[in-house]
Structure 1
Amino acid sequence: MGEVESAVEQEPYVITIDYTRCSGCRVCELACSLSHYQECSSNLSRIRLVEVTVAGVVAAAPTLCQNCCDPPCEKICPTGATRRDPESNLMTVAEELCIGCKGCVHGCPFGATAINPYRDAAFRCDQCGGFPVCVEVCPENVLSYWPLSVVSNRLRRKRKKMSANFSLPAPTVL
């Protein structure tokens, strides 16, 4: 296998969220808990649906681990249980090291880490080993699973287009 083929196979994937499409049905939460724990429970889901209010309108917003470049959850973990997996590049929790202190829960700016009520250990999205069930079952196609390079290129193009349409007013002399 050539270098290029190997690099393509190892490219990380990310779950993207189109918040404008979410109806708040919670199918993603139930499917996640069912696939990981054979139980339908929002408390066991690795994807969370939170309600946000924007301009007086309440909307549902799915949230999951963003696998931050400089993750606060990793810095705050006293045992080293929260760490980046070198193979998948995802943030993971080594349950055997987790003491359930909730530091990572409080440190996550996205609210994506939770404590498993049965194991008293932190847990977060693991992308279902490369086949995220939440993406598969979402009836509104809110969630998508893309290679990171595709998402990065789309964001770069969007920023470039936005900056081309934005101009600062001429400075005024006082």
Structure 2
Amino acid sequence: MAKVLMLNPEKCISCRTCELACSFKHDKEFRPSAARVNVVQFEKEGISVPLMCLQCDTAACEKVCPTGALKRNIATGALEVDDNKCIRCKMCIQACPFGNASYDSVKNRVLRCDLCGGDPQCARFCPGGAITYVEATAGALAKKRAYAAKFKEVLQEVSK
């Protein structure tokens, strides 16, 4: 059965360990700006939310890529960037409705969550349990949708 990353913002302690684990996994250096996960803090609301690619079933980023550099990994379900095909046009970054892809100007590449090949380090090292990697059961997917709806409400309040 497939697995999904689950986010539980109420458990996020804003430690940013997920960012460090991610950057170290991919680049062997602790550089949060190179992480595929970013913790967004809403100070007024008193919450922090770790954000990364949601691995959309119908992904806008994949559709706009002019070179086909974004492909779904059959084993993990993650949309991965083929750096050899990517021309760094950044259309995928613009197309993401959630802003969960970025560009690393230091290493000249697009950054997006690749689920660490099926062993997401953000989930493995999250001390508060705000990020977990679980079986994609109907219950887990319903919970994921509920958190997404709640996050959408917070974003709407913040943007007012």
- When normalised by structure 1's length, the TM-score is 0.75
Q: Aligned Cα RMSD in Å?
A: 2.1
- CA deviation after TM superposition for structure 1 residue 44, in Å: 1.0
SS of residue paired to 2:13: coil
CA shift, 1:84, in A, is 1.7
Paired position in structure 2 for 1:33: 23
- The match for 1:63 is 51
Asked whether the 8 Å contact 2:67–2:85 carries over to 1, the reply is yes
Larger relative contact order, structure 1 or 2 (CA cutoff 8 Å, min sep 6):
2
2:132 match: secondary structure: strand
Q: Is residue 65–residue 125 contact of structure 1 (8 Å, CA) maintained in 2?
A: yes
| 8 Å contact from structure 2 (residues 20, 35) kept in 1 | yes
- The count of corresponding residues between Structure 1 and Structure 2 is 145
Moved segments of 4+, more than 6 Å: none
Unaligned stretches of 5+ in structure 1? 1-10, 160-174
Alpha-carbon distance, 1:133 to partner: 1.2
2:34 maps to 1:44: yes
Gaps of 5+ in 2: 146-160
Could you say what secondary structure the match of 1:57 adopts?
Answer: coil
CA distance in 2, matches of 1:158, 1:44: 25
1:136 offset after TM fit, Å?
1.5
Corresponding position of 1:164? none
Does the 8 Å contact 2:134/2:140 carry over to 1? Answer: no
Query: Which residue of structure 1 aligns with residue 87 of structure 2?
Result: 99
2:104 pairs, out of 102, 108, 116, with 116
Q: Does 2:2 align with 1:12?
A: yes
- Is the contact between residue 7 and residue 144 of structure 2 (CA under 8 Å) also seen in structure 1? no
Separation (CA, whole Å) in 2 of partners of 1:118 and 1:40: 14
Larger Rg: 1
Are 2:69 and 2:86, in contact at CA under 8 Å, matched by a contact in 1?
yes
